[in-house]
Amino acid sequence: MNATTSFLRLNIEDAEVLKMASSIKLPVCTSCNKPIAPFERAVRFKCPNCGAIVIWRCEKCRKLVNTYTCPNCGFVGP
């Protein structure tokens, strides 16, 4: 019975997290334009060329070493 109760509680917490995630504007991966989930191992760094833009790279793009283009200065980098 205890196991069932904790399982239900977990589900409620998941729903809360999902609700929060949908209300927060998620960052978008600069390489693939997909929203980055808060629990993803994404990286965020400033453009190495102009420093004015924050580049986001999702876990997938990091693994695939996809290139990104800075929307401000056009710098393309790995």
The nearest distance, CB 44 to Zn ion, in angstroms, is: 12
Token pair of 53 as six digits: 């833009």
Residue 35 DSSP symbol = B
**Residue at token pair 């994404």:** 42
Contact positions vs Zn ion (CB under 5 A): 29, 31-32, 47, 49-50, 58, 61, 70, 72-73, 75
Task: List the beta bridge partners of residue 56.
Answer: 44
The nearest distance, CB 38 to Zn ion, in angstroms, is: 15
Which CB, 8 or 50, lies closer to Zn ion? 50
Which CB, 17 or 73, lies closer to Zn ion? 73
Phi and psi torsions of 69, nearest 5° = -120, 125
Which CB, 8 or 73, lies closer to Zn ion? 73
Backbone angle region of 4, left / alpha / beta, with phi > 0 → left and psi within -120 to 50 → alpha = alpha
The nearest distance, CB 34 to Zn ion, in angstroms, is: 5
